[in-house]
Structure 1
Amino acid sequence: MPLSYTGAGTLRAATAMTVLGCSTGATAGLTGYPLHGGQTLRYLLAAAVLLPLARRGGPLRPRLTGAELARLALLAAAGLFAFNVLLVQALRHSDPAAVGSVIGCTPLLLAVLGPLLARRRPQVRLLAAAGVVVAGAAVTQGAGPGDLPGFLYALGTLACEAAFSLLAVGLLPRLGPVRVSAYTTAFAVPLFGLTGLVLDGDRMVRMPTPGEAAALLYLSLVLTVLAFLLWYGALGRLGPERAGLFAGLVPVTAALSGAALGTGGLHPAELLGSGLVGLGVCAGLAVRRAPEDAARPAPVPAGR
């Protein structure tokens, strides 16, 4: 039996956030590789896959307007470039658990800003559900040591994470998930490439080790191509408030994948946090959509 429109969005959002949570091991495998060069290679490979997907079936239609080009450029600058740079800086000052606890507030931020940007009042029950998800993510992630610069960098990372979804909402109905993903990754390539040339010169790229090459392939093909398509497809079906609830799965799946791979243990607090995240997500999905939200047009088919 085929999934409902909302059910398909739920599955896509959950899968995208699971892929993101499981990417922690791949990211850790690139800590010794030049930051800007590695990200340039990552998004270049992803764009090489996504742009042909966007063009399948003939010339790209509809043509981009100047406002859409500016929005896509801002999406790439904030959601991809600034996010990755700020995340690295935050991790240099703070423990990953502390950074993760701040970024874990994404569901609550989307539950507030999503309706406000659409000129709607946030739904109280959805805010409560987002709060439960945030609490579960915090319990799962824990709180580690850090300093004020690390906290500020983490706040910037949180803002960029929210921008990755909120800036895309207005583009998806006309362009669809494939084109938004393809254009955003294409815009990210010169951002990282030019910055790498200025800051690192000829040291921005080197031959990766087998482990680094595997990590780059995962981040390019699985996280960037697959998860981007799934996430933007979910946004078009659920809206940022409900889709954002699934961001609470990131620390949960990171902990579970670490235990499965033997790189970490599974503790009672993580099990409790996982239960809270699941409870919050279910409660949020049970909240009836606002009339204005339900009336939002669906994205155009992929590749159109």
Structure 2
Amino acid sequence: MTPALTRKTALLLTVSPLLWAGNAVVGRLMVGAVPPLTLNLLRWLLAALVLLPLGWRVLRIGGPLWPRWRRFVLLGGLGVGSYNSLQYLALQTSTPINVTLIAASMPVWMLAAGALLHRERPRPQQLAGAVLSLLGVVLVISRGSWDTLMQVRLVPGDLYMLVAVALWALYSWMLARPSDDSAREWHWSEFLLAQIVFGLMWSTLAAGGEALAHGGSVEVAWSLPVAGGLLYVALAASLVAYRCWGMGVAAVGPAIAAFFSNLTPVFAALLSAALLGEPPQWFHGAAFALIVAGIVVSSRR
């Protein structure tokens, strides 16, 4: 029986997409002020420091984390290290609307990862939904122009985001198929902190490579807006959004929560219009409709 969707749960599941849309807009605003891979490192370093008083027990020597360190190296690399770094790289040349719309194509990548890695055969409804979602992504990449699609001129940011979504699908399947169930009993702060700690290793390597590519150092144009943006992505888009999402999913399950995740492009379009002067185009609305239709179709039984 499907749990009832209360107003409180609906609010929790709406807050997360709103905060993640804000993350995309802030990432766009940071272009030129903070290098993207450095931004990702600073974001999760600050988030770890804030989370440490709550989840420090998971890092104790002899604790339950260390026998599973290989698993968390992958989780941290895919979730904290790769996805977020690629998203900030994507925002260097793409827009928050495009980035969040491409991210909303997740059902395609989820089905592919499940079929290839776990032999989860998709149902016909899921395949139909995946086609609709993929059409939405193609519409975003082509900018609504058939000539552009035929020329296959992709903005580098669009390609970065496609790779990021594929890696997030792998990350999600790792969460859904844990090697054991004991980690499910951890406090949410412990589970997230464990991922962040190992993700910081990957983020540090990526930021180091970015520094080498810029002659051995990177410059951050510190200012009050930059500091405020960093606080937002570290606290609101990371800790608050993850916590609200976890509580919402626990209340009604992932099937209902998935519909709320597709509010992110809508919020990104509204925030971009208000803050960046980038009003949404007709193809953004059409692509969003296709992606939502794909998810609705794929979830029908």
Aligned to 2:166: 159
Contact 2:83/2:168 (<8 A) preserved: yes
Shift of 1:216: 0.6
Aligned to 2:79: 79
Letter in 2 for 1:228: Y
Aligned to 1:300: none
CA 1:92–1:224 in 2, change beyond 3 Å: closer, same or farther?
A: closer
Shift of 1:204: 4.1
Shift of 1:134: 5.0
Q: CA deviation digits over 1:38-64, x for unaligned, max 9? A: 2222111111222323358xx899822
CA 1:64–1:209 in 2, change beyond 3 Å: closer, same or farther?
A: same
Q: Where do 1:163-178 residues align within 5 Å?
A: 163-171=170-178, 173-175=184-186, 177-178=188-189
CA 1:177–1:261 in 2, change beyond 3 Å: closer, same or farther?
A: same
Q: CA deviation digits over 1:14-59, x for unaligned, max 9? A: 4323321232221012212133332222111111222323358xx8
Structure 1, 241-250 or 121-130: larger mean CA deviation: 241-250
Q: TM-score, normalised by structure 1?
A: 0.70
For the aligned residue pairs, the C-alpha RMSD in angstroms reads 4.1
Aligned to 2:201: 190
Looking at structure 1, the residues matched to 77 and 166 of structure 2 have their Cα atoms a distance apart, in angstroms, of: 12
Aligned to 1:17: 17
Q: CA deviation digits over 1:51-102, x for unaligned, max 9? A: 323358xx89982253x32222111112222224434555567677766665
Q: What runs of 5+ residues in structure 1 fail to find an aligned partner?
A: 289-304
Q: What runs of 5+ residues in structure 2 fail to find an aligned partner?
A: none
SS at structure 1 position matched to 2:271: helix
Q: CA deviation digits over 1:193-246, x for unaligned, max 9? A: 344346527734646211111111111001111222334455666776765555
SS at structure 2 position matched to 1:219: helix
Contact 1:132/1:279 (<8 A) preserved: yes
Contact 1:94/1:150 (<8 A) preserved: yes
Structure 1, 37-46 or 174-183: larger mean CA deviation: 174-183
Shift of 1:106: 1.3
Residue 63 of structure 1 pairs with residue 64 of structure 2? yes
CA 1:143–1:98 in 2, change beyond 3 Å: closer, same or farther?
A: farther
Letter in 1 for 2:167: C
Q: TM-score, normalised by structure 2?
A: 0.71
Residue 254 of structure 1 pairs with residue 268 of structure 2? yes
Shift of 1:111: 3.8
Contact 1:173/1:236 (<8 A) preserved: no
Contact 1:168/1:180 (<8 A) preserved: no
Aligned to 1:36: 37
Letter in 2 for 1:188: G
SS at structure 1 position matched to 2:263: helix
Looking at structure 2, the residues matched to 236 and 116 of structure 1 have their Cα atoms a distance apart, in angstroms, of: 27
Contact 1:108/1:134 (<8 A) preserved: yes
Looking at structure 1, the residues matched to 210 and 290 of structure 2 have their Cα atoms a distance apart, in angstroms, of: 43
